[in-house]
Structure 1
């Protein structure tokens, strides 16, 4: 996501390929790192993007208490990114970007997350956090499972799949005066499996993989119950009793998916309260071109195909065009397009970029569109960002 700035492209423009295409971040005055209360110093900079405005970060970065743990809970990198950025997006209505500062979660440790992801029937380790440490996933008859053969174990896991895959925490801090900040609230995301993947080991040490698809109704029912329990546990912590809590419910995509999953529920729990009133979140990602996109959004799909055909007509070294679209409330919110090409020189890059920019305005005049044009070596050659609220696009040649 990049802040809008019109860049005039010419053959004489030379930029280092390792640098950002434009760097116009405004820095706040440097402040003292600590005051007499030992509270964190306020941050240095704020970053705006085409679609979102990011939170300020603390001057002295402090890693989260569960740093890196998400990689063991969520398998897909694009799911990890969407889960994190999506939780920020859900948080903005409660924690205003201009008033709050972002910090990675400091209250839920790795040990607590690991314990919470266990089954209700499993023994849990000793967590140092002031939270109940019992597992949250559906239980099994652990003794029967231990004594079962491979087939029986697979059947048991399919019957009672694990649904919860991860818990993500984010903290939002407010200015408390004297160039310092204090906790203003927290946001929590619960990630759920759309498909439960597991492995069973036999007596010879051989591994037997298995999987079980979960129904939307099954996940939704379990998610609401689990989300309420997580809120109850968070309120046990003395520092979290009287702060607002934003909670989001995230459904992961299947392994190997080229698009991320989506948030399907959210709630805001007022300070001092535990009752959760869930709201539906209607958003979904689509890959273009794909059968699913054609079935659910035929008009946009046909427009994309026409856009692609015009590129193919114009440029002989055409390789392909792919897109990722996010729909909110069933309306196209943003389309990201990637075009890999084979170029013979910078003049071709400039000419092609100008033509693509023209096509974007012709075919997607009312949508936010970001286009990355790459060489055959997967190096980004140019960037186009088009926004209907702006008369001109961002156009940059690397």
Structure 2
């Protein structure tokens, strides 16, 4: 792989690592063309730039020389035991936003209008000391069937902006409601963990109730009074799930009354499939099994090969493969990375974004990626020095 490709790949990895919403090329962005202006305008108020964007992705906001981070990102009603929920909640919310707010027209900004204290109050239980709580009051019961569970686990704000002269103007907002499918609790401090399962019917009923209240509160704020407000419902996966949850529906609101819900047909699938599991597309399952078989037959010193995939209907949206090795030699890693690349190109589905991480139990050894529009994988082997 040539030097340019290596540099591009490393930049992409770093951007993912620090959580930027858009990870595309910065060649055409004001960030790359106006570096001198960043230094000269640090003392000016409300100067902004954008990160630039890849095709189909949002440009992000850099204000006064710094990326604008969310005021309330990562807040939850209690401890989230599945980190995959957090990741897929944030990335999936942008996918829902694209249905309403086109990346070609709007600029993405991390939530700036709901403060940390506000979101935390909303996520907490309703009580005399916290009348704004969106979760029900604690009825005192410890019985899994009789207690009032925590329904709303997290709430995320994403702002969508348009250029207005030399500034940005809020033109829409998306609110994500992460709803628990299982609520975990303890009957006594440091005691055993118990669970209350929440049915799909209850998730829909409670999310409607919460969405109505959230919309009502947002419309009282001057910033949100006259902009479209999208509210999307995310069903959290249980703590023992190998994947995150999925968005199940959304509503696009132009007024004060909650608009009709629109269903979303997303599904997460882990390959290889378990005994009682099925794939939305049997060809994808066969393709992964063939890839896995070929790789394991030539390099037997592997601890496992798995893939996390996301579907919309029966169409795969992306695949993330993890190969855990027992290699210690850097030459072995290089050879294996080259072989994995050729087998991936031969067997794995085309037309979707695919990432392949090759790692030991301790660290990442190499990384391969291919965008939906490419035929060949780009790769990088991490040296020991």
Structure 1 length normalisation: TM-score? 0.79
1:276 maps to 259
Residues 384, 289 of structure 1: CA spacing in aligned structure 2 closer, same or farther, 3 A cutoff?
A: same
CA distance in 2, matches of 1:268, 1:340: 43
2:128 equivalent in structure 1: 123
**Partners of 2:151 and 2:203 within 8 A in 1:** yes
Q: 1:372 aligns with which of 340, 347, 357?
A: 357
- Pick 1 or 2: higher relative contact order, CA cutoff 8 A, min separation 6: 1
Taking structure 1 as reference, are residues 154 and 376 closer, same or farther at Cα in structure 2, changes over 3 Å only?
A: closer
Return the alpha-carbon distance in structure 1 between the equivalents of residues 361 and 125 of structure 2: 47
Structure 2 CA distance for aligned equivalents of residues 184 and 34 of structure 1: 26
TM-score, structure 2 length as denominator? 0.82
1:30-61 superposed Cα distances (whole Å, 9 cap, x missing partner) = 3575899x5x3232421428xx5233222333
2:269 aligns with one of 270, 286, 289: 286
CA contact (8 A) 1:288 1:323 kept: yes
CA 206–321 in structure 1, closer or farther in 2 if over 3 Å, else same: closer
| Contact kept in structure 1, 2:370 and 2:376, CA below 8 Å | no
Q: Distance in 2 between matches of 1:275 and 1:347?
A: 59
Which stretch of the first structure deviates more once superposed, 81-90 or 285-294? 285-294
How many residue pairs get aligned? The number is: 362
**Structure 2 equivalent of residue 180 of structure 1:** 167
Q: What does residue 319 of structure 2 align with? A: 335
Q: Which runs of 5+ in 2 are unaligned?
A: 15-23
Which residue number corresponds to residue 52 of structure 2?
46
Deviation at 1:166, TM superposition (A): 1.7
The superposition leaves residues 246-302 of structure 1 with CA deviations (integer Å, 9 ceiling, x where unpaired) of 2110111111322110100112112x4433221011112122224278434454334
1:222 partner SS: helix
Q: Please provide the CA RMSD for this pair.
A: 3.3
What is the alpha-carbon distance in structure 2 between the residues aligned to residue 34 and residue 378 of structure 1?
Answer: 39
CA distance in 2, matches of 1:372, 1:340: 8
Larger gyration radius, structure 1 or structure 2: 1
Which consecutive residues of structure 1, in runs of 5 or more, have no partner in the other structure? 1-6, 126-132, 146-152
Counterpart residue number, 2:26: 25
Query: CA 1:350–1:380 in 2, change beyond 3 Å: closer, same or farther?
Result: closer
Which residue is equivalent to 2:339? 355
Q: Structure 1 runs of 4+ off > 6 angstroms?
A: none
CA contact (8 A) 1:35 1:180 kept: no
d(CA) in 2 for partners of 1:188 and 1:21?
Answer: 27
Residue aligned with 1:169, SS: strand
Equivalent position to 2:102, from 88, 96, 110: 96
